Amino acid sequence: MTYEEAEKYIRDTAAFGSKLGLDNIRLLMALLGNPQDQMNIIHIAGTNGKGSVAAYLMSVLKTSGYRVGLYTSPELFRFSERIRIGDDEISHEDIALYASVVKEQADRMIREDMGTPTEFELVLAMALCYFRDKGTDAVILEVGLGGRLDATNVIDRSELSVITGISYDHMQYLGNTLEEIAAEKAAIIKQGGRVIVWPASDSIMQVYRDICKAMDATLHVADRPTVVSSSLESGQKFSICGREQTTRMAGLYETDNASLAIQAADILKDRFDRINEKTITDGIAEAVWPGRFEILRRSPLVIADGAHNADGAGALAECIRTYFGEKKVRFCMGILRDKQYRRMLEILLPYASSVVAVEVPNPRSLKAAELKDEIRSIREDLEVWTADSVGDAVERIKKPQPEAVADIICGSLYLVGPLRAVIL
């Protein structure tokens, strides 16, 4: 199989959609020799911030001298971003090789009527085989959706489970209350394992305590940071557990993500003994994660933020208030129709001078005209342009708007990725 054939195979499988559940992935991994059983895995779930926490932890472990596999999703604009060791993405040659290895067993499953693996399951299987063969010291797995029935939960043990903040998203799969959503995500906690969680309401914390008690697992609750300074130019300084830290990432929520990663690294010191105060500080300072309040251009100012649910929109709104005060921004926005798009718009539109409504390059997208109508139903005074393609959106962004202090691309990572690639 060539790289082009592998990419087509994965893309064609994605067209059949996704399916929650562990039966297929368990059988597929068994046919592949259960490579996940041979790894030291750090498993990360939560509503927002999973990717950033994974990037911070990967940077700390790498700075400490470890060979670290990182599996995340979705990619911004290259499939190979999803599977990497340190800063190095999987090569085209290895994509072709591991797609062939996995396809052989997936075809056997289909031929013998044992199940049909989804695209996410195939890619996860490729990643785990790749990490095993490349001799990684640690592997960081980011949950795709939820936790309990997510394919990454095929693992039977982990060095640490990490759970970021909980908010409303994917309710059709995870439940209609925050407690139900938290329970789905906390199902990554392993028997006799360890977990660190971001502090939450009493009812959510009770969910964590109950699951940890049932699993005989050790629960750690992260402390919140004290922010010292935040700057678009130089990033942020903050204090956590009595230590001063810096992150080059400007999104205000990144100090929370970094703090969770720091405290997770502290727990992992007993297993990865080359982690120390210096490697933590240096790793956090060097970490980057694209598409999260990322400055793509400074003059004129263009920022990309992957806010794709109500909680993410609220975090983006806080960044706009902090950095721009009363000044307005022009949004370039595309949203998937299965998201809480009206609530997202209600949160963000007070900060808008105008909006470019874009159709996200994803079959689940709201049409640009539909998004425009929704925007105008909330703020009929607002100027809204529609763009039917990424190219149209970029052309609109190129046209200066004096009343806007910045252009902000948001609404979906499936929009941020292609626009980011063109602008950069």
Give the per-residue pLDDT at 313: 93
| Domain enclosing residue 281, as ranges | 3-286
Give the per-residue pLDDT at 17: 67
Nearest to 344 by CA among 407, 411, 404: 411
Choose the weakest-confidence range: 60-74, 163-177, 223-237, 289-303: 163-177
Q: How confident is the model at residue 317 (pLDDT cuts 50, 70, 90)?
A: very high
> Helix (H, G, I), strand (E, B), or coil: what is residue 414?
helix
- Across all residues in the chain, what is the average pLDDT? 93
- Per the structure, the count of domains in the chain is 2
Q: Are residues 157 and 57 in the same domain?
A: yes
Residue 285 tokens, joined: 């300072």
Instruction: Provide the percentage of residues in the chain whose pLDDT is more than 70.
Output: 98
pLDDT at 16 over 70: no
Q: Which of 286, 305, 325 is the last residue of a domain?
A: 286
Q: Are residues 230 and 357 in the same domain?
A: no
Choose the weakest-confidence range: 45-54, 365-374, 413-422: 413-422
Give the per-residue pLDDT at 61: 98
Choose the weakest-confidence range: 124-128, 143-147, 191-195: 143-147
Contact 296, 303 (CB under 8 A): yes
Residues 224-258 have pLDDT tens digits of 999 999 999 999 999 998 999 999 999 999 999 99
Give the per-residue pLDDT at 120: 94
The CATH code of the domain that includes 210 is 3.40.1190.10
Burial group, residue 7, by CB count within 10 angstroms (0-12, 13-18, 19+): middle
> Helix (H, G, I), strand (E, B), or coil: what is residue 243?
strand
Q: Are residues 183 and 97 in the same domain?
A: yes
Give the per-residue pLDDT at 119: 94
Give the per-residue pLDDT at 364: 85
pTM: 0.93
**Is the four-CA dihedral 109, 115, 116, 120 of positive or negative sign?**
negative
User: Which is more confidently placed, 256 or 306?
Assistant: 256
Q: Are residues 103 and 170 in the same domain?
A: yes
Give the per-residue pLDDT at 113: 94
3-state secondary structure 19-69: CCCCHHHHHHHHHCCCHHHHCCEEEEECCCCHHHHHHHHHHHHHHCCCCEE
pLDDT at 406 over 80: yes
Choose the weakest-confidence range: 229-233, 350-354, 419-423: 419-423
Give the per-residue pLDDT at 169: 63
The CATH code of the domain that includes 362 is 3.90.190.20
Q: Which of 266, 286, 306 is the last residue of a domain?
A: 286
Distance CA 292, CA 72 (A): 14
Give the per-residue pLDDT at 172: 61
**Beta strand pairing status for 160-163 and 404-410?**
unpaired
Q: How confident is the model at residue 173 (pLDDT cuts 50, 70, 90)?
A: low
Q: Are residues 86 and 235 in the same domain?
A: yes
Q: Are residues 202 and 226 in the same domain?
A: yes
pLDDT (average), residues 335-362? 92
Q: Are residues 339 and 241 in the same domain?
A: no
Backbone dihedral angles phi then psi of residue 368, each to the nearest 5 degrees:
-60, -40
pLDDT at 296 over 80: yes
pLDDT (average), residues 98-125? 96
Q: How confident is the model at residue 389 (pLDDT cuts 50, 70, 90)?
A: confident
pLDDT (average), residues 330-356? 93
Find how far residue 145's CA is from the centre of its chain.
Answer: 10
pLDDT at 304 over 60: yes
pLDDT at 27 over 80: yes
Q: Which of 258, 286, 314 is the last residue of a domain?
A: 286
Q: Are residues 85 and 214 in the same domain?
A: yes
Contact 166, 147 (CB under 8 A): no
pLDDT at 171 over 70: no
Backbone dihedral angles phi then psi of residue 322, each to the nearest 5 degrees:
-70, -45
Distance CA 408, CA 406 (A): 6
Q: Are residues 272 and 402 in the same domain?
A: no
Q: How confident is the model at residue 23 (pLDDT cuts 50, 70, 90)?
A: very high
Q: Are residues 165 and 206 in the same domain?
A: yes
Q: Are residues 210 and 357 in the same domain?
A: no
Q: What is the identity of the amino acid at 416? A: V
Q: Are residues 51 and 147 in the same domain?
A: yes
Distance CA 157, CA 254 (A): 28
pLDDT (average), residues 403-411? 94
Choose the weakest-confidence range: 148-152, 168-172, 246-250, 378-382: 168-172
Give the per-residue pLDDT at 293: 94
Q: How confident is the model at residue 170 (pLDDT cuts 50, 70, 90)?
A: low
